[in-house]
Amino acid sequence: MLEVLVGFVVGLLVVAGILVILGPNLKGAIRRIRSMQRPASVPSVFQSRSREVASPGLNSKTQRVLVAAARLSNWLRAHSHEDLSRELRGAAVRLTSSEPAGLYAMQTLLRKVRALSLEESSQQRLTALSNELRTAVQDRFEQLELLPFKRP
């Protein structure tokens, strides 16, 4: 029994000696030890994330317009229409600061995109993407009551 008590006291003295040696660096050492613990969540590399994200402060239909514009812009850039892609991104930026001005700019760009002529498979994809953007722009126009309601 005496041996256990002596062993316990010796252990306490060793720990006290280590604490004295660390002195002012004790807080930093404790932080380092805590940071070495396992993270509570899964690392972001393994989490699935949405590919297209619009800023959360915008209206949902405005976000839909921005997502459709991003898709069309990426497609145009991939098919060597950088000038239209740049104009579309500029209209999207304008949409975030002044919605009516951005919507009118997008509508003007959609007219330019409609005039593009490509081979058949590319034309189908361009038509699908531009129709998606056109629908989103018209929905937002109607919601803001900027244009009268027109559906073909």
pTM for the model: 0.58
DSSP state of 46: G
Cα 34 to Cα 30: distance, rounded to the nearest angstrom: 6
CB neighbour list of residue 152: distance below 8 Å, 6 or more residues apart:
none
Confidence category of residue 148, pLDDT binned at 50, 70, 90: low
The CA-based diameter of the chain, rounded to the nearest angstrom, is 97
Mean pLDDT of the chain: 81
CA angle 86, 91, 96 (to 5 degrees): 130
pLDDT digits (tens, 9 = 90+) for 40-56: 665 555 555 555 555 56
pLDDT digits (tens, 9 = 90+) for 130-145: 899 999 988 888 887 7
